[in-house]
Amino acid sequence: MRLKPITLLSFFLFCVQVSHQQTPIIETSLGKISGNVFTSRKGRDIYAYRGIHYAKPPTELRRFAAPEPVEAWNETLNASNDGPSCPQSFTMETIDEDCLNLNVYTVNVTASNPVIVYIHGGANIHGSAHSEYGGGPQYLLDEDVVLVSISFRLGAFGFLSTKTYEASGNYGYLDQVLALKWVQQHIKNFGGDVSRVTIIGESAGSMAVTLHLTSPMSKGLFHRAIAMSGSATNHYDIDNVYWSRKLAYDLGCPRYNTQYLLNCLRQISWQRIVNITDSWEPYGMANINWNYEIDGKFLLEHPSEAIFNNRFNRVPIIAGVTLNEFDFEPERLEGSNDLLDDMNDNFGLYATDFLQFKITGNDDEKMRRIREFYYNNKTINKYNLAGLGKMKSDGLIGHGVYRLVKLAKKYTNVYYYRFDYIGDKSLYSNGAEKAKGVCHADDLIYILPKKTFQVENNSTDIFMIDRMVNLFASFAAKGEPPIIDNITWTPSTANETVVLYNDRKVRMGEQFEVERYALWDELFPIEKSGAGISIPAILLFSFALLWPFLCQSKLL
């Protein structure tokens, strides 16, 4: 999504929160680190250490490969500036392929405060740890917590796969695992408690959080999880191999010999790769074209199956959605009459694309059911685009989160919410008009400030910052939400209790959107196989073990 212009006043208010005051020098096993001081919303000093590399540059032969831990340094590392963001388009940040860095924010380097690790969203093609554009510490650090935000590889760089040993994918998720290991090894030196690490993500970052819930590689690296508007328990069926071979074809590289494909793509600039993949985005609505692989290492089975069978990292979970999510996104199609006409004639082709599943033998029936449910078989036109919005909100976000809660609550405490509060800022308002609803990522505005979505100090929305920050900080500290306005937020039960924010009020309520989510449950049931690991994953893992011996014997 393109960033909107901001006023000079907003820019000034954000920038004055960084001070040139000295921070404590942090001593780690890798070397010494210096930073600078930010100021929290309430005037608290925040010690900021930014742009700390946790991995070697993922360039040349390390492009499309698992990350390697960074080596120690001799001089004191100057961590007073944000590191570069990973290759992507539409950003104001500095871009470099040497982007595997993280930021640490703390208020007391000698304390043992709970740690919150933020995994950004952005459809796996956008986003970063940047303190101004990726989410700053000025709200959360009014509480006694340590905040860590991480950058990881995106797009083809993070997820290219041919389902072979040489290119098994998941590189962006492996980056996150390495960053979580870095936290376990070093966060104590910043005043963090390694036994109280909470991972929090929004959108694609929330999907990543739920993948770590089911990954054996992430076991023991975190102790609570917050999933905001996204879950890998959705029905997504994304073909990384197709997109990887399409990328090779578009760039004139071999498609079917993996080693030749990799050798060729490693010679091409990141700018060309980003430009090519960016041209694939249909309808001006960003879709997730790159996602996880069940590779036998990071993932052994589909996340839904893992949680259904109690094969996951059982930690307390907060999971939720916003009231409207993507309801208003299709409005950008209002002037596309030819596109809407074609969509009416070929609904299945369009819907399988923006609802993220492959075309298979029974998809005609699925498409008929979906169109009948959301449109009652009426013609799609510029006056009823809300149906497409509801379809996308449910299919891409709501149902996946609902399924996560439904499955995980049998084995751990899950706190389910819907964020209904309509504030002055919204992803889908232009700043000049009141937001029409509560859209995707609107709840994040009150937790991690961005230069483009600052809540002014005189805004009536300030109370929501205090409420959300206290909620998540308390959860990070104790593993359960605090009492809010004399309301105890109980874990989800058979009655699917939830917390709703509406006009400043908090209440426990019944499950929402029961009928809508039931449709998706029926169309996309969980495959409940007894085995924990798929046959392709077993073969891939076995081949990985045999590879060095095969090479030595010159059989390959």
| pLDDT digit string (tens) for the chain, length 556 residues | 333 333 323 333 343 344 456 789 999 999 999 999 999 999 999 999 999 999 999 999 999 999 999 999 999 999 999 999 999 987 788 999 999 999 999 999 999 999 999 999 999 999 999 999 888 999 999 999 999 999 999 999 999 999 999 999 999 999 999 999 999 999 999 999 999 999 999 999 999 999 999 999 999 999 999 999 999 999 888 899 999 999 999 999 999 999 999 999 999 999 999 999 988 876 655 567 899 999 999 999 999 999 999 999 999 999 999 999 999 888 888 888 888 999 999 888 888 777 877 655 557 788 889 999 999 989 999 999 999 999 999 999 999 999 999 999 999 999 999 999 998 888 777 655 678 899 999 999 999 998 877 888 888 899 999 999 999 999 999 999 999 888 889 899 766 677 777 778 888 887 788 889 999 999 999 876 433 334 344 333 333 333 333 333 333 3
User: 325 CB contacts (<8 Å, ≥6 apart)?
Assistant: 229, 392, 393, 396, 397, 398, 439, 440
Of the candidates 66, 219, 22, 38, the residue with the CA atom closest to the CA atom of residue 136: 38
283 and 349 in contact (C-beta within 8 Å)? no
Q: Catalytic residues, which ones?
A: 203, 325, 440
CA distance 105 to 137: 7
CA distance 166 to 161: 9
Going from the C-alpha of 379 to that of each of 343, 389, 532, the distances in angstroms are 10, 15, 44
CA distance 86 to 491: 37
CA distance 137 to 117: 11
Of the candidates 481, 368, 365, 326, the residue with the CA atom closest to the CA atom of residue 415: 481
405 and 414 in contact (C-beta within 8 Å)? yes
212 and 176 in contact (C-beta within 8 Å)? yes
Q: What are φ and ψ of residue 114, in 5° steps?
A: -60, 150
CA distance 443 to 449: 11
CA distance 303 to 311: 9
Residue position matching structure tokens 């809660």:
405
CA distance 129 to 148: 9
The residue count of the chain comes to: 556
CA distance 390 to 383: 14
CA distance 265 to 262: 5
CA distance 278 to 286: 9
Alpha carbon of residue 127 to chain centroid: 9
Of the candidates 106, 104, 109, the residue with the CA atom closest to the CA atom of residue 83: 104
Is residue 66 helix, strand or coil?
coil
Is residue 218 helix, strand or coil?
helix
CA distance 499 to 256: 50
Burial-class residue 505 by CB neighbours within 10 Å (0-12, 13-18, 19+). Answer: exposed
Going from the C-alpha of 258 to that of each of 56, 164, 173, 303, the distances in angstroms are 24, 8, 21, 27
CA distance 543 to 258: 15
Name all domains of the chain by residue range, CATH numbers in brackets: 8-72+81-237+293-326+390-552 (3.40.50.1820), 335-384 (no CATH)
Identify any residues that bridge with 228 across adjacent strands, giving them in sequence order: 202, 320
